[in-house]
Amino acid sequence: MGTLRIRLPRTISINRATIPLGLPDTPANRVLGDRILRQLQLDLDNHTFQWADRHKYRHLAQPRQLHTLTPPKVIDLWKCYTQAQQTHLEASTIRKDYQAIHHRLLKAQITDFSTAKLKLLQVPYSLEIVKRTLSQLQAMAKWAAKQNLISNLPEILDTLDHTEIRKTKGSQNKTRLAFTKQEQLTILRAIQSNRFSPRQAHSHYYNYVYFLFNFGCRPSEAVGIQWQDIDFQQGKITFQRSYSAVTRQEKSIKTHTNRIFPLTGSRLAWLQSIQPAHAQPSDRLFPSPTGLPLTHANFLRDIWQPVVKTLAALGEIESYLPPNNTRHTFITQALASGMDEEDVAQICGNSDRTIRNHYKARKRQIQVKDF
């Protein structure tokens, strides 16, 4: 293992002299080296650098001098923390979890700990993802403190605390709201016609969204369904698997019990119409444009949010609702059509109690009829 050193620019030293820092080349020390380099650059910019004083930068590498340096950026710490974790974690864990957090830090433009919580909450992440990210940042901060990269650990941990983050009453109510029939048609038409698709064709996802609205399943179940799950002769779909884009693996559905969705009339005819001529039993109904399993997170970011949020902003639908509310829409419309609660619960994978408590009377406005 080599040691770290700073090579001075030719404007300072014709021979490009170096300043040895006396630190082993480790991920943690690279962060420290970057901080010392920023201090050197600051002195150069302020014209306060003196060749005779060049050895003070090595002195800054001593632990007791850490507080005099500019705190490292969170993203730089995370890179080094990830590198350190690679020595004892599976590569799949690094790829799945640590790179995902790296992406979130960049997307939320997090540079320091003090604003991390606020910035994460301002990005359209679920509260569970925000909490998980803050927990990982706390673990990273503890590691950084042991490496003498930060000096105010208690304050940082308090800043990253997420125990008080709770769903608001309004957000809890919103999860059970349904689109109206007209709003459903408006969304489907916008996707089918590529009305808001500046870069990629939204219409590729039309069948996927139509299925979500009309078959009462969860998005992960729709992504996981294959042609072998559909029995056209007996007129039924067997929901038995879901697909996780995070782990890139199939798993059982949420209830861990296969369920049957009867096919009749327009739903049966529609499925027959979209089946490719040479479809294989293991082919997915709704692959991505590249033929791989559809990634719901990409669909949410690139298709659903641009379309539905724009329609809401234009006043063509009442408000933005997430993709899971397509299932709530199906359940609400099924109950409104007169279907029995038990039947709806059975084909959608809910309990009778859930249907009764959360869906049966969930309308945006209560209307009192004349009597």
Tens digits of pLDDT across the chain (371 residues): 577 777 777 666 545 577 777 777 776 677 777 777 777 777 777 777 776 666 676 666 555 444 445 567 899 889 888 988 888 887 777 887 888 999 999 998 998 898 898 888 878 788 888 888 999 999 999 998 888 888 888 889 988 988 777 654 444 455 558 899 999 999 999 999 999 886 678 999 999 999 999 999 989 899 999 999 999 999 999 998 888 766 677 777 777 788 899 998 899 999 999 999 999 999 999 999 999 888 888 899 889 999 998 999 888 999 899 999 999 999 989 888 888 888 888 888 877 677 766 665 444 443 433 33
The residue behind tokens 């030293």 is 13
- Give the pTM: 0.54
Distance of alpha carbon 113 from alpha carbon 100, whole angstroms: 18
**Residue 145 structure tokens:** 């403190």
Q: For the chain, what are the domain ranges?
A: 3-68, 74-166, 174-359
β-bridge partners, 231:
236
Give the whole-angstrom CA distance, residue 363 versus residue 7: 68
* Rounded Cα distance, 353 and 359, in Å: 10
Q: How far apart are CA 56 and CA 68, in angstroms?
A: 12
pLDDT in tens, 255-268: 778 889 999 889 99
Please, are residues 309 and 158 in contact by the beta-carbon 8 Å criterion?
no
Q: Report the distance separating Cα 305 and Cα 327, nearest Å.
A: 17
pLDDT tens digits, one per residue of 68-112: 455 678 998 898 889 888 888 877 778 878 889 999 999 989 988
Record: fold of 174-359:
hpI Integrase; Chain A (1.10.443)
Helix (H) or strand (E) holding 273: helix 265-274
